[in-house]
Chain A
């Protein structure tokens, strides 16, 4: 529990709408408590901007569950996607992280051609949905499943598959990548399904289609910077990118 409060200087990206020119604007915020989450700090700023009738109006930002699982929130804080704490979405980041350090924060949206800004800190991430639509599933109709235990899966395979499946689709990996590549996101779904027997029939067509869609959306290529792994709030490993590349290579020499 921290009883004392502190003051912050905030520089926040303000942009009226898609395609409009944006700029960094400066705001002062007093009375920040270390027990606030980062998004609660933004709530307090917004309440202040509304009460004071500030001409800029409140800051628009995406958020929903505030438990680090829905993947809706995400901003760049002082150059780091989701801020300085490893393995943490910005809704779970608490202001005590900043209490004894930097009191000047630069807050920006994800920046990538494939994620156009819609307003202030909100970006359009529907490109991720289209990558999944290209093949990130097992084609099984409702009702046509065999008994759950008819498909034995080793504990280790199940655990590794779950490691990949933990992706929340927030887009931090893209924001952190110098190439704005969506490779970590795409590989997490490719690997989850490639590790399971259920995913085998479509394994090689899946990886080809998903990578093709990723390129079509305007995401860059992976050149092994590993910035994605460093910022991923679910700490998804780049080993899945290796798995994707291996499957893509095998797919290229197969006839299907």
Chain B
């Protein structure tokens, strides 16, 4: 199989224009003859479903939540980037493009990223028109802030709830299409399989999460906008329901999975505080603008109250190691430095289980004495409040404790420039695809990509596919649907079987916790090495075996059953984990969020190997427990020069 990204001809700034001009159009009378399935209702899915509905296509939209308004895009706090240059500070489409390629550590596709930067300006206009209440200046114009170490102010925001407001904008546009009957909404529905007919995606199998009914849905094409797979680590900042199932089932039906090992670990999260803990909470990284990160120097008892540790016994390690950027080094660098401190036994906070202390201080004492408590409250009041609610500690008086946590996955289903996978008729948008962030995503860029895909890319490329392809009519009575239905039902029966036979001994969560915290976080987390990854690849099949023979799933298939829902997702994580670890093992370089201990500079920084790894690794399913086949798409950089990142 050769991977053709189908990048259009012409200079980079004309590529999207050229592509759009070459696209086949569907005339309005024919649009209503087509049916499109959209799975997921977040920024990418919600925006695509609404926009395709507006164009006149019949859309069926599915989400696992009780309402499309609750997709996990809602939790994004900081903001959305756009190259508007409203601040007159030198921003441009070119600069946003350049920053994104560099930030991604040169592992993304130039043409895709350039289009993203171009479309960023349209997104802001669209959202304003929908009534999204962006922050404003007194004169009535849009306000901006700087974010994620960028040197320009290009981030638009709605207090600390930007994701929520953008999602509600898309949700309301979707509601308008539901009201006129152009979109049929299926909430509390989980996609459990993709149906492929003659090599093209023609439908999905879903489970109605209230009645337990397994249903087949046919269409002319399928859009997966189902988010990332960070929950494979059990503890992450993702919503509890986020999962890999839709993407993974598509992978099992032949779609390639690209760069699965690229995971983003966010440095400013609240540390784990108990074994019962169910998820981690992220605090905006804007905190690093005023907070100073430190741990006690060697020889100081880490259990000492931080306010009792004198200045000379503190190690402000980011300022010491990276004098140029100090506390503002990028996410991956800050995360790894915190890990190194804790691995050396200099972490702070409580011990959980047999782990060393996993936490470092983020101290605002200097900023408070310089600016006053009121100024700090004005800047970070909501974050301090959230921290205090969770930890019962007052960060105005004692330093915060932070530790990195899994936050976003850059890997995803492989797509070409049209956001179409190698399977015809399967389109993938948002975090679920791999295309724009390379090996590391910049702050405030996830919202931008989700909405660019949903509002401005997919509505064009889906139309082009439908206009250019002659599709036979396919109904759910087709044999491929029957087979997929049977597969799904058999899998559900297998999940319930151990308990029925009296062999169910371990809960689903217990398996998930072991996979996430003891296998994946341990061996495929912030730092990876050959030995650890090989150990993980040995342990995962054993754990999977144990899962299928001893998992205890109570209740029945034909009713609302949250244990069964979780079991299906964890079963897929237990297979996908191998693909992730294998990808991490084969990519023997360090890049962005993927840090291989064998590939580092003498100072312990990530070292890329452009000679051997300047490519996308796209994996093809060959069977459960079988080694997937690797395909490579070479990455070519015509406009951005590859350099080693340095923050010293």
Contacts and interface: CB of A to CB of B under 8 A. Distances in A.
Contacts, number: 213
Contacts of B456: 142-143
Contacts of A34: 392
Contacts of B172: 132, 136-138
Interface stretch (A100-108, A145-153, A242-250): A145-153
B84 interface: yes
A58 B555 CA distance: 9
Nearest to A142: B51
Contacts of B133: 158, 161-162, 165, 192, 196
Contacts of A33: 274, 276
A154 interface: yes
Contacts of B124: 148
Interface string B90-130: 00000000000000000000000000000000101111111
Interface residues of B, number: 81
Interface of B: 47, 50-51, 54, 65-70, 72, 74-75, 84, 86, 122, 124-131, 133-142, 158-159, 161, 163-165, 168, 171-173, 175-176, 178-179, 185, 187, 210, 239-241, 273-274, 276-279, 281, 350, 386, 389-393, 455-456, 459, 507, 509-510, 552, 554-555, 559-560, 562-563
A193 B185 CA distance: 24
Contact of A165 (B168, B178, B179, B350): B168
A60 B563 CA distance: 9
24 contacts: A1-B392, A18-B210, A43-B276, A47-B510, A50-B563, A62-B66, A65-B240, A66-B281, A72-B65, A122-B560, A125-B66, A137-B131, A137-B175, A138-B131, A140-B173, A142-B50, A145-B125, A148-B127, A151-B129, A154-B138, A155-B136, A158-B136, A162-B159, A166-B164
Main secondary structure of the interface of A (DSSP, over half): loop
A203 to B, nearest CB: 11
A170 to B, nearest CB: 10
Nearest to A134: B179
Given A58-B563, A137-B176, A149-B141, A142 B70 contact: no
A208 interface: no
Nearest to A125: B66
A99 to B, nearest CB: 10
Contacts of A251: none
A238 B554 CA distance: 44
Which 5 A/B pairs are nearest by Cβ-Cβ distance?
A152-B140, A145-B129, A137-B172, A145-B125, A133-B179
A192 B168 CA distance: 12
B562 A58 contact: yes
Nearest to A138: B131
Nearest to A151: B128
Interface string A36-49: 11011001100100
Interface residues of A, number: 76
B455 A66 contact: no
Contacts of B74: 65, 69-70
B131 A154 contact: no
Given A65-B75, A132-B175, A148-B124, A57 B389 contact: no
A158 B135 contact: yes
A224 interface: no
A155 B136 CA distance: 5
A44 B274 CA distance: 12
A109 B163 CA distance: 28
A148 B75 contact: no
B52 to A, nearest CB: 9
B216 to A, nearest CB: 23
Contact of A39 (B163, B173, B278, B563): B278
B129 A144 contact: yes
A181 interface: no
B192 to A, nearest CB: 19
B547 to A, nearest CB: 15
A70 B65 contact: yes
Contacts of B455: 142-143
Contacts of B240: 63-66
Contact of B67 (A57, A125, A165): A125
B392 A154 contact: no
A4 interface: no
A67 interface: yes
Contacts of A92: 386, 389-390
A96 B390 CA distance: 10
Interface string A123-135: 0111011001110
A137 B130 contact: yes
Given A33-B276, A133-B175, A60 B187 contact: no
Given A43-B276, A129-B69, 20 more contacts: A35-B392, A58-B563, A62-B66, A64-B241, A124-B66, A137-B172, A138-B129, A138-B131, A139-B176, A145-B126, A146-B129, A147-B125, A148-B84, A148-B128, A148-B142, A151-B128, A162-B135, A162-B165, A169-B67, A198-B131
